[in-house]
Structure 1
């Protein structure tokens, strides 16, 4: 098989795909053509193309997740994206490029209740993400999911994506110039999610405890939180103990459930 992903120089297929991308560069179906191009370069089971901006709700541009996963995807987009590693990496200013999810995720992400109850439902063993910063603080992302049958991305496939990323990034920029008006982020959703995170535990937790609670829910260990906030790990552990005592919780699962309840109460209020 003559794939760039096998470490072979760009083939005639790549040139045909590139020509097709250029032909569709200002069309609404450019993401579908990009999907087909990536399938010829690397192996993956699922694709999710989305845009992010500040704390706005992400916009799904393209998804091929199975129908049975639609409820989980909707839960991510509408509720828990604010805890997601990609969302938070973008909000913290990650540079454009090609990343594995585990490279940008907090150190204890896979032990979070969010991972177990939501992300784990996608049944992925690896996720490779192309991050393209655009104008007006919008970030265009392409997430390629791999299940156990494919395993982790190979070095050759990673090198392939790195080599074509500048071209894909340039094409995405041109697509966005033509089509950005079709993808407008919801200002109300941004405000409500920022409010949800800032008010969780309000009146019960201190501001520092609220900050640490948010980091716990995202998947940061005590060591990671200590580094981020420039305090000792021992101090973080004391805060964690106080948080559970004040909220009458004992596990992260209970903390996560309480946060979801907080989101629901705000939405219904």
Structure 2
């Protein structure tokens, strides 16, 4: 039993947790419920950035709230909302309808942090470490609560990560309850324009005429997979991947992975 494992300091800790939980559920149905969630998580451990995103089937992501300023963040994430989210490791979790608390470093392909996508997406930020609570929804997709360290802060300590992870069941039920009460309010956002298929977008790159296996290769390259990772996932050898890359570059009249990413980005904004 929990009582047998508690010292005096443990009892005080439990009292803090109960207080945070009670305060949350007093506001779960309110318009400021998600902002209250950010405040509650801030009482568990310090962080800089707080963003809540809603991923729904066949729709672009919605920014539900943030402590960074909605107008600034919407401008900052314009390329992401326009289609780069399709390359986001956290979006892959949404598609798979997975749940949990995850660090970006734990779910990313091996070359993700040197990929063109990462450089482009994070070039205007000073994020040190990103984590998210992932809450799958009954109607598909997920709600994701981002908490990140930025600037001169250090990465989250193990005890902080353990505490945040322990809060996932509470965060999950809180968010699901709030969406059940206020979900229609978010559905009216103009950000909810229809999405598109990543493979279709790759196939339509100017002058491409790529084969199905070349489309597979481009998709994995854009997501930050190394040659070895592409080979492993497609069950082919490294030399075959290199041949696919050479053919892809020739068909697209480009010479580097950076040019490939820029071509893809232009296809989104154009």
TM-score tier by shorter-chain length is 0.7 to 0.9
Q: Does residue 242 of structure 2 align to residue 237 of structure 1?
A: yes
Residue equivalent to 2:226: 221
User: Quick one: distance in 1 between partners of 2:15 and 2:152?
Assistant: 28
User: Quick one: distance in 2 between partners of 1:196 and 1:188?
Assistant: 16
Give the match's secondary structure for 1:118.
helix
- Match of residue 267, structure 2, among 252, 258, 262: 262
- Match of residue 88, structure 2, among 75, 84, 90: 84
**1:127-147 Cα shifts (integer Å, max 9, x gaps):** 011111111113010111112
Shift of 1:205: 1.6
Residue equivalent to 1:116: 119
Shift of 1:256: 1.1
Distance 1:31 1:262, change over 3 A: same
User: Quick one: distance in 2 between partners of 1:240 and 1:218?
Assistant: 15
User: Quick one: distance in 1 between partners of 2:200 and 2:40?
Assistant: 40
Distance 1:138 1:22, change over 3 A: same
The size of the alignment, in residue pairs, is 258
Shift of 1:239: 0.6
User: Quick one: distance in 2 between partners of 1:132 and 1:89?
Assistant: 10
Q: Does residue 142 of structure 2 align to residue 139 of structure 1?
A: yes
Q: Provide the aligned C-alpha RMSD in A.
A: 2.4
Does the 8 Å CA contact 1:201/1:210 hold for their aligned counterparts?
no
Residue equivalent to 1:40: 43
- Residue pairs, 1:192-211, within 5 angstroms: 195-200=200-205, 203-211=208-216
Distance 1:256 1:27, change over 3 A: same
Give the match's secondary structure for 2:44.
coil
- Residue pairs, 1:54-203, within 5 angstroms: 54-65=57-68, 70-91=74-95, 93=96, 95-184=98-187, 188-191=193-196, 195-200=200-205, 203=208
Q: Which runs of 5+ in 1 are unaligned?
A: 1-6
Please give the TM-score of this superposition, normalised by the length of structure 1: 0.86
**1:14-61 Cα shifts (integer Å, max 9, x gaps):** 333211211111222110110000000012110111011235211111
Shift of 1:86: 1.1
